[in-house]
Structure 1
Amino acid sequence: MLRLLKYLKPYWWQVLLLFAAIGLQVFTNLQLPAQMADIINGGITGENIDYIWQIGLRMLLFIVLGAGCSILSTFLSARIGAYFSRDLRADIFQKVLSFNATDLKNFSTASLINRTTNDVNQVQQTIMMMLSLMLIAPISCVISLVMAIQTAPDMSWIMAVGVVAIVTLITVVMVLVIPKFKIFQKVIDKITLLTRENLTGLKVIRAFNNEGIEKKKFESANAELTNLIIFTEKIMKLTNPLINVIFNGLTLLCTYIGISLLTQNFDYLGDMSAFTQYVTQLMISFLMLSMLFVMLPRANVSAERINEVLKTKPKIVWKDVTSGIPEKIASVEFKDVDFSYPGAKEKVLDKISFKAHAGKTTAFIGSTGSGKSTLINLVPRFYEPTSGEIVVNGIELRKYEKDDLMRRIGLVPQRGVLFSGTVASNIKFGAPNATDQQMKEAARIAQATNFIEKLPGKYNAHIAQGGSNVSGGQKQRLSIARAICKNPDIFIFDDSFSALDMKTDAKLRKALMPVVKDMVVLVVAQRISTIKEADQIIVLDAGKIVGKGRHYELLRTCKVYRGIVKSQLSDKEYAHELEEANA
């Protein structure tokens, strides 16, 4: 929790002003009992109306001043808390953006969402309470105690009774509630995770008729959270009437003792009244401190979860400035690259070496799990090679500054990802300064113009979150248009034509050829037709290169490639291809 207090540093002068307002508020509030005692002792008992008016106006001044300080402190507390949470959320979000795929595996998406929202809110509320109470409560306690003893020393033992009762009550509450707070956030993470899984996987759940199973899983987590809330609420709600009993009991005790003393000296009436108010202030201050101690453990759990994100060091470290000057002619070269996932014993890629040149298409093909997607994900440094080097435009990847590398790469992922906005904003996502003409040209090359022109609003048509209001093929074409609009040095297509029909696939590849004449093109594909004309085809099997060459050359020399081709063609077509290869 203390680590997060650094986010208050930019607002130190507002914190000081808040403390000054709170201090003045405490001073004015604690003057009122003494002034009331003066009215009773010097005005009412002495029947001095002028004195009553004089003290009454002074009390009114204290009330107005205290109210003004209260308004100011409330405003400053809310303002500081809002800025605190804003800056904290921004840092968490920025930190998450710096994570690579390996870093993200340490946190679930649901957990990261809760840490950015619910946990930050919990810490914010506690910080706001701390700013108010860590000054007002101790000062009120000390001054109330001193003033009460000075006012009526014969009754001071009553305060000890009250303090013991309040402390005992809050201690019991903390013992019962704090252990529940420690598992509260984990249960919320579980509910968020189940909700997210069910929303994103709704079609699969319905297809397998598993609504009942998912409902039971959610009901189980929901019941666990409900039981936690009911338990804590019962304890907290029971605390309020018990506190009232303590307060009312103390007031009754003060009145009883005070009346017995009044029989000896009637002038004790004002002191008794002031003492009763000071005891009440003391009890309220102790109560506020106790409630703060109840909130702190829960906020501390949230703070620890936040700090887990903030202190996570990304495993991939980027240079501040690119070391060296990249070559103007684009190229990608793998030099004996190995890769294993963290904790895995087996290699996903083993001794991968090849070079992809500008104006040439390098395609990767192989069975499922052969390492194709993993290989091309190493180029934008989504993962770090276990050993070996990857050189882009003459410079090894580890020597690049992040933005310098990313602006050179246009990636079309295996699963098309669109963002809420418009068609135009999605195509211009990687090139926000692109002209409308460049955007439309990118859409034309990606064979997206026809369906875009039919949308309401055309390029201003709304795209829902995740592109849920467009088809899989439309989503892929928009993703391809986005990469084209960026005009990178290197195109990476990770099985990006799988949702396109053969005719559209052929048209797109033909329209793309003039665009990529000076660029490196890396293509992962399952269909032979997509990569048949590639300048270099790399065949992967169990993470190793088992074939490298053009289509007909591989048909003659690579058994694995022949098996892939045979599985996709009819016997007649396959025989024709072999004949062409041996011609």
Structure 2
Amino acid sequence: MIVESLLEILIPSLMAVLIDRGIMARSMPDVWRFGGMLVGCSILSLLCGFLSGRFAAVASAGFAKNLRHDLFGRVQDFSFTNIDRFSTGSIITRLTTDVTNLQNAFQMIMRLGVRAPVMIVVAWIFTYRTSPTISLVFLGTIPVLALGMFGVIFVVHPIFERVFHTYDRLNNVVDENLQGVRVVKSYNREDFENHKFARISRSIFADFMKAEKFLSFTSPLMQLCMYVTMILISWMGAQQIVASGNNAALGLTTGDLTALVTYAMQILMSMMMLSMVVVLVIISQASAERTCQVLQERSTVRNPQNPVMQVADGSIDFDHVTFRYSSSSEKPVLDDISVRLDSGQTIGIVGGTGSSKSSLVQLIPRLYDVSAGSLKVGGVDVRQYDMTVLRDQVAMVLQKNVLFSGTIAQNLRWGNPDATDEDLRRACQQAQADGFIQEFPEGYDTMIEQGGTNVSGGQRQRLCIARALLKRPKILILDDSTSAVDTKTDQLIRHSLQHEIPDTTKIIIAQRVASVQESDLILVMQDGRILDQGTHEELLRTCDEYRFIYESQTQHQGGDLDA
């Protein structure tokens, strides 16, 4: 870029010599000599321009690739607390729109941000050598341009910050609509969703229009400075040529004036380039700030300096555990939980909606950290473990069962990448999934669509249970993960788990008492506390809440049988 700029600045000087010593002096040898030099400089400048453009494109694309990689890697390290701070749409915007803005700005800075300052400085030096008086004209335009550009930056930057926050909302609406498209269509809410999308889209349009109106002032300002400068150079140059009689020894020549005009165009065009760079930097500054927010975010769940690298067993000990999703929350989600769960036990957890059953089990693999108290697994505080080691020994099937695009076998191997085909089939047999998989024409090579939309809810749950079993964990957590299967299949799954993995601690969260009544210990939760605990028979005698749940479900079943 620097060589290209220097060659372009050298060309007007060669042209001035060609005019004065070749054309004006009627010397053909000088015309050929300096003409050849002009052609050579032009070709070399073209070659440098091509290479600089190519390298700038490669550098900017590589910069964007690295930035996306680092952003995505940072998101993968986030705890649930970190993820809660950024919406899905916001993270998508930062990985796409914001990175693209930064890529464009980076390429412009590489291409024009290097070229323009070199052109301005060196061209002004050549102008000063040709005519010190005329060179001062350029210095007068700099303060005018600087004031204009800084004024635009001051006004426009807050607008672009607001625009990208609106982009987050737009992406959230699209993401929510596509995930819930079946609900939208079943309730005929397409018009409502269209209006919601259009309202946010109009907001982005209005802000962009407002910003562009201010940015449009940069071009007229640049044009004004350019034409005023050209007029002053022409007027002052003509006076000096007349005064010197076109004698280089006494003053300015025709060739010098031609060179000055060319230098003026180069300097002013370089300033125009700089103004374009400034505009892009203004736009990308908000994107850079948003990108840095993700890069600088530190996970609230981190490995200790000397982590424990082995989980002894599946015992779990909650010791006065209190948990809040946010430190500013007045009421804790879990309040003073104390319970001991022995390795190999089957523990059932029941309770009403909002009783914090899921929050309790999410603390075990450190998806969140406790706010107070301690939680031990295998006799060691979970905060002392290496997170990979801990999570490899805790298999969790969440309420929302997620399958990824790919074959059934590929989805199952998320639990164990080295699992053999026999391992896959055995895990699926335990999860009562092998039967329906064998009915597919391609068996375990059947493709799963994004989100698992081509399998039923019950099939999706059983595949997720099989995936968890492939980890061969010391602790297995089933968070209401058999709600979509029939009671017979639910019972078969529980019996299979009891006999196939007797040494694994099994925690079953369920709405149906039938799913937990055979457990070694049942916890009844209410408002973030353990209301009561015991076996099925003990709770029927001592816990009114448990008895009410059990009776309401058995009476309903009895009614169905009578009907």
Q: TM-score, normalised by structure 1?
A: 0.88
- Alpha-carbon distance in structure 2 between the residues aligned to 1:356 and 1:572: 31
TM-fit CA distance, 1:65 = 2.1
Counterpart contact for 2:71–2:294, Cα < 8 Å = yes
1:485 equivalent to 2:470? Answer: yes
Q: Which one-letter code corresponds to 1:290 in the other structure?
A: S
Structure 1 match to 2:415:
430
- Correspondence 1:340 to 2:320: no
Higher mean C-alpha displacement, 188-197 vs 402-411? 188-197
What are the equivalent positions in structure 2 for 1:114-263 lying under 5 Å apart?
114-153=93-132, 155-156=134-135, 158-160=137-139, 163=142, 166-167=145-146, 170=149, 173-174=152-153, 177-233=156-212, 236=215, 240=219, 243=222, 247=226, 250-251=229-230, 254-255=233-234, 258-259=237-238, 262-263=241-242
CA contact (8 A) 1:420 1:462 kept: yes
Amino acid at match of 2:58: R
What is the distance in 1 between the residues matched to 2:137 and 2:309? Answer: 78
Equivalent residue for 1:317? 302
Change beyond 3 A, Cα 1:215–1:260:
same
Summarize the Cα distance change of 1:320–1:408 in structure 2 as closer, same or farther, 3 Å threshold: farther
Tell me, yes or no, if the aligned pair for 2:11 and 2:41 is still in contact at 8 Å.
yes
Contact kept, 8 Å, 1:319 with 1:400, in 2: the verdict is yes
- How far, CA to CA, are the matches of 2:545 and 2:371 in structure 1? 26
Asked if the contact 1:166–1:287 (Cα under 8 Å) also holds between the matched residues in 2, the reply is no
State the partner residue of 2:461: 476
| Gap change, CA 1:67 and 1:322, over 3 Å in 2 | same
Give the letter aligned to residue 205 of structure 1.
V
Whole-Å Cα distance in 2 between the matches of residues 555 and 287 of structure 1? 82
Whole-angstrom distance in 1 between the partners of 2:271 and 2:444? 63
Q: Take 2:557 and 2:334, find their aligned partners in 1: how far apart are those partners? A: 35
- What secondary structure sits across from 1:383 in the alignment? coil
Q: Which stretch of structure 1 is more off in the superposition, 237-246 or 426-435? A: 237-246
Q: Could you tell me which of 376, 392, 397 is aligned with 1:391?
A: 376
Alignment of 1:283-302 (within 5 A): 283-302=268-287
Q: Pairwise CA RMSD of aligned residues?
A: 2.5
Shift of 1:154: 5.2
| Counterpart AA for 2:323 | F
Structure 1 unpaired stretches of 5+? 1-21, 575-583
Residue 153 of structure 1: CA displacement?
A: 4.2
| Counterpart residue type for residue 480 of structure 1 | I
Cα distance in 1 between the residues matched to 2:194 and 2:309: 57
Instruction: In structure 2, give the amino acid aligned to 1:331.
Output: S
1:460 to 433, 440, 445: 445
Which residue, 330, 348, 363 being the options, matches 2:314? 330
**For the Cα contact (< 8 Å) 1:358–1:517, is it kept in 2?**
no
CA contact (8 A) 2:145 2:221 kept: no
Q: Find the aligned partners of 2:414 and 2:181 in 1 and give their Cα distance.
A: 28
In structure 2, C-alpha distance between the alignment counterparts of 1:90 and 1:166, rounded to whole Å = 38
Residue matched to 2:30: 51
**Which residue in 1 is equivalent to 2:77?**
98
- Is 1:362 the equivalent of 2:339? no
Shift of the 304–173 alpha-carbon distance from structure 1 to 2, 3 Å rule, reads closer
> Do 1:170 and 1:291's aligned partners in 2 also have CA atoms closer than 8 Å?
no
Q: Distance in 2 between matches of 1:571 and 1:149?
A: 97
TM-score (ref. length: structure 2):
0.91
Cα distance change on mapping 1:153 and 1:352 into 2, 3 Å: closer
Tell me the equivalent position of 1:580: none
Task: State the alpha-carbon separation in 2 of the partners of residues 376 and 387 from structure 1.
Answer: 16
Structure 1 residue 312: Cα displacement: 1.9
Q: What is the distance in 1 between the residues matched to 2:222 and 2:281?
A: 20
Instruction: Give 1:85 shift.
Output: 2.0
Q: Name the SS for the 2:374 alignment partner.
A: strand
Matched, 1:534 2:513: no
**Unmatched tracts of structure 2, length 5 or more:** 248-252
Number of matched pairs: 552
Per the alignment, residue 81 of structure 1 pairs with 60
Residue type at the aligned position of 2:314: A
Q: Tell me, yes or no, if structure 1 residue 273 matches structure 2 residue 258.
A: yes
In structure 1, the residue matched to 2:47 is 68
Match of 1:523 in 2: 508
Q: CA deviation at 1:354?
A: 2.5
In structure 2, C-alpha distance between the alignment counterparts of 1:347 and 1:214, rounded to whole Å: 35
- Match of 1:388, SS state, is strand
The residue type paired with residue 119 of structure 1 is: D
Letter in 1 for 2:5: V
Is the CA contact (8 Å cut-off) linking 1:167 and 1:290 kept in structure 2?
no
| Aligned-pair CA distance for 1:496 | 0.5
Identical aligned pairs, as a percentage? Answer: 34
Per-residue CA shift, 1:506-542, capped at 9, x if unaligned?
2222232322112110110111111121111111222
> Which residue identity lines up with residue 348 of structure 2 in the other structure?
A
Judge conservation of contact 1:363–1:524 (CA < 8 Å) in 2: yes
Of 482, 496, 500, which residue of structure 1 is paired with 2:485? Answer: 500
Distance 1:178 1:381, change over 3 A: closer
Amino acid at match of 1:337: V
